[in-house]
Amino acid sequence: MTTKTRLLLKLAGATGALLLSLGVAAPQEARAELRIDITRGVSEPLPIAITSFAGSGGRDAQMGADISKVISDDLERSGLFKPLDPRGFLQTPDQLRTGEPRYQDWKALGAQALVAGNTTTGADGRMKVDFRLWDVAAGQYMQGLSYSASPQEWRRIAHIVADAIYKRLTGEDGYFDTRIVYVAESGPANSRKKQLAIMDQDSANHQFLTDGQTLVLTPRFSPTSQEITYMSYFNKKPRVYLFNIDTGRQEVLGDFPGMTFAPRFSPDGNKVIMSMAQNGNTDIYTLDLRTRRQTQLTDAPGIDTGPSYSPDGQRIVFESDRGGTQQLYTMSADGSGVKRLTFGEGRYGTPVWSPRGDLIAFTRQRGSSFAIGVIRPDGTGERILTESFHVEGPTWAPNGRVLMFFKDLPSGDGRGRNAKLYSIDITGANERRVSSPVDASDPAWSPLIP
């Protein structure tokens, strides 16, 4: 799966219109619409009944059941939903396909939302998936959509359906139709093998992108293309590279006399911002991917690294030890207007600006522990989300609601480290392992797949 075929998403005109008009025709009630307030933090997850997307039988039935499972798992992992055990369901998918939900039955199960769907394969071999969503308490139809795609893309369809349900019930964009690029780790700690790997957000469709012959670090997704920027020790010359996921082509970025590292794309995808270290001094540079022009943004003595753009491209957050210890600063995109952001006890690094613009995530080191936290771009509202012997390297889900990072425990003598990926809600709730076939560090979350 090096080449990921572009998914053709189609809002099926007829079906969609019919379903949506049914929704409008449903009786309007004065009560508040079913909605999860996700800004509130830890709350009871919403009980939701997700019936099998079983088709008319055979292969469609199996695929329908698999699609339901992926949707259910996505919603469950978000921490905002509690999918109910299908064994308690009293209405079959067939009954829901042809008739109205028996709201009383679903209410009795404790369901507040109900999802039904159907999977069929057309004569052209394309798969069609439609789903409908009801507010059980209000006895109201909420939404119905239909998608078609090649059957190989069934997991993506499931993630897209989960995103649609998430959006309808939270008011926020979903993040399930996304991928994670990370550094897969194996071997002894003093000669760790590190290779780039990529997988879906739910750990499916895993593949290695590099062979592990060369040390690689800190991959980051392009916001606009199937490309990754990362750091590689190819030929023992540590430099920032560009990796094309579709073609596997790698190229060094820029012509710098010293080590380049800590790369990230600009929000428009046209530039890569990075650090260059030379003669014991580290500054921040940009490389324009179209003109190949290199621009120096900082020239303070000391270490300026970890740059990350605000989503509007106007500001940059970075870390610097110019004040004596490692702290976060912001500056304009041209390098002017530097302001110190953090004044807390400890050291602050790896800043990354939320795609929503409202928060900056960071790693804080204080005493014998590391923590992942967030702070507003004006320096207020600093909050620690999780703390451990070693946590590092937060990355944002595209909706700015969830962070992923890596965590490892102290290594005993002669034993390797055991870094693993975790995700956490920006409220600090719902910290969970993100499974990977081998040890994992430096995760980077993709934008929603186009």
Partner 1 sequence: MRMKFLALAAVALLAACESTPNDAANGANTGAQQTSVRPGSAEDFVVNVGDRVFFGLDRYDLSPEARATLDRQAKWLQTYGSVTVTVEGHADERGTREYNLALGERRANSVKNYLAAKGITPNRVNVVSYGKERPAVVGSNEAAWSQNRRGVTVVN
Q: Which residues bind partner 1 (CB under 8 A)?
A: 188-192, 194, 215, 217-218, 236-238, 258-259, 261-262, 275, 277-280, 282, 303, 305-306, 319, 321, 326, 347, 349-350, 363, 365, 389-390, 392-393, 410-416, 442
Q: Which is nearer to partner 1, 147 or 256 (CB)?
A: 256
Rounded to a whole number of angstroms, the minimum distance from the CB of residue 261 to partner 1 is 5
Strand order in the sheet with 432-434: 390-396, 402-408, 420-425, 432-434
Q: Which is nearer to partner 1, 126 or 192 (CB)?
A: 192
3-state secondary structure of 322: coil
42-80 b/e (C-beta count within 10 Å ≥ 16 → b)? eeebbbbbbbbbbbeeeebbebbbbbbbbbbbbbbbbbb
Rounded to a whole number of angstroms, the minimum distance from the CB of residue 412 to partner 1 is 7
Q: Which is nearer to partner 1, 261 or 422 (CB)?
A: 261
Q: Which is nearer to partner 1, 4 or 390 (CB)?
A: 390
Rounded to a whole number of angstroms, the minimum distance from the CB of residue 411 to partner 1 is 5
Tell me the C-alpha distance between 355 and 344, whole Å: 24
Q: Which is nearer to partner 1, 130 or 185 (CB)?
A: 185
Q: Which is nearer to partner 1, 271 or 347 (CB)?
A: 347
> For residues 317 and 304, is the Cβ–Cβ distance under 8 A?
no
Q: Which is nearer to partner 1, 279 or 380 (CB)?
A: 279
> For residues 197 and 216, is the Cβ–Cβ distance under 8 A?
no
Rounded to a whole number of angstroms, the minimum distance from the CB of residue 381 to partner 1 is 22
Rounded to a whole number of angstroms, the minimum distance from the CB of residue 156 to partner 1 is 32
Rounded to a whole number of angstroms, the minimum distance from the CB of residue 193 to partner 1 is 11
CA-closest candidate to residue 46, choices 81, 18, 71, 74: 81
Rounded to a whole number of angstroms, the minimum distance from the CB of residue 278 to partner 1 is 8
Rounded to a whole number of angstroms, the minimum distance from the CB of residue 370 to partner 1 is 8
Q: Are strands 315-320 and 304-309 parallel, antiparallel or unpaired?
A: antiparallel
Q: Which is nearer to partner 1, 188 or 381 (CB)?
A: 188
Q: What is the DSSP string of 346-392?
A: SEEEEEEE-TTSS-EEEEEEETTEEEEEEE-TTS---EEEEEESEEE
Q: Which is nearer to partner 1, 45 or 258 (CB)?
A: 258
Q: How many other CB atoms are there within 10 angstroms of residue 287's CB atom?
A: 23
Q: At what angle do helices 59-77 and 154-170 cross, to 10 degrees?
A: 40
Element (H, E) at 115: strand 113-121
> For residues 64 and 117, is the Cβ–Cβ distance under 8 A?
yes
> In Å, what is the CA distance from 96 to each residue of 103, 190, 445?
11, 58, 36
> In Å, what is the CA distance from 249 to each residue of 2, 121, 210?
11, 36, 11
Q: Which is nearer to partner 1, 151 or 416 (CB)?
A: 416
> In Å, what is the CA distance from 97 to each residue of 60, 92, 94, 115, 168?
15, 9, 5, 11, 20
DSSP letter, residue 86: G
> For residues 302 and 320, is the Cβ–Cβ distance under 8 A?
yes
Q: What is the DSSP string of 130-155?
A: EEEEEETTTTEEEEEEEEEE-GGGHH
Rounded to a whole number of angstroms, the minimum distance from the CB of residue 282 to partner 1 is 4
Rounded to a whole number of angstroms, the minimum distance from the CB of residue 327 to partner 1 is 11
Rounded to a whole number of angstroms, the minimum distance from the CB of residue 402 to partner 1 is 21
Q: Which is nearer to partner 1, 153 or 304 (CB)?
A: 304
Sign of the torsion angle spanned by Cα atoms 344, 41, 131, 63: positive
